[in-house]
Amino acid sequence: MKFFPLLIGLMMLAACQQEKATTPPTEILNEVLAAQDVAGLQAKYGKENLSLDTTWFIGDDTLRGSILFPNTPKQAFIYYHEGRIADVTIQGESSAWKTSSGLFLGMSLTEVQKINSKNFTISGFHWSHGGSVVSWEGGKLSGDSSLSHLASFSNANNAHEGLRDEEYTLISGEAEFDIRHPSIQKLNPRLDLISIIKPFIPSKSEGIKMGHQIEKSQIPPVRGN
């Protein structure tokens, strides 16, 4: 009987840790997008909390813009188009932000599936764009002309805990997979990148640059012998 209080204590500790891990953040990322420009960001969050004209790397892409609350749990990367906020991104294992749609870093694939209310398609793992959402397949996260979502599931160090190497190989590489694939469901990876984007019509030069970037990241076609 003397071990019973200890067992109860361990169970309570585990429950608290689980609750902490799954409790959504309270800051709304869409409010950053709604600030519209640098002046709006400085007025809302303070000049001292905004690092301007900064370069950062996401995958193999190099972007330039601002960082809000750098090196804190509220860090967010902001990209502009013609002086207006066009993209707000968070990345990593956790963040103080969530989207109005309910997405937050660390959320599992099955939880995202529930929010989307539909299955969706992701790229294979084990490369620079691994685990990225290719299409929300018309689900609730598909967005519209005013807002769209980009997201990527954990591909850090190609970790695949709970999945044998041969199972992981089945969902790796420059290919696209329905998330209903048994190995993906078993892996159940977590979000480590979220972007909310205001769609815009690029200029001709921007279109060419974006086209080159897309071409570099696209899955190469299968060539016949």
Tell me the pTM: 0.79
Q: Are strands 27-28 and 50-58 parallel, antiparallel or unpaired?
A: unpaired
What mean pLDDT is predicted for residues 48-71? 86
Structure-token pair, residue 70: 């750098």
pLDDT digits (tens, 9 = 90+) for 189-221: 999 999 999 986 655 555 455 444 445 545 554
Structure-token pair, residue 127: 């490369």
Report the alpha-carbon distance of residue 46 to residue 204 in Å, rounded.
35
Report the alpha-carbon distance of residue 15 to residue 7 in Å, rounded.
12
The closest alpha carbon to 161, from 139, 144, 186, belongs to 186
Structure-token pair, residue 190: 């977590």
The secondary structure of 95-120 as a DSSP string is -SEE-TTS--TT-BHHHHHHHHTS--
Contact 101, 89 (CB under 8 A): no
pLDDT digits (tens, 9 = 90+) for 169-179: 999 999 999 99
**Amino acid symbol at 163:** L
Q: State which H helix or E strand residue 168 sits in.
A: helix 165-170
- Of all residues in the chain, the percent with pLDDT exceeding 70 is 76
125 SS3 class: strand
Sketch out the chain's domains with CATH numbers.
27-201 (2.60.460)
Report the alpha-carbon distance of residue 116 to residue 113 in Å, rounded.
5
Report the alpha-carbon distance of residue 12 to residue 4 in Å, rounded.
12
Query: What's the pLDDT band for 138 if we cut at 50, 70, 90?
Result: very high
What mean pLDDT is predicted for residues 47-73? 87
pLDDT at 12: 45
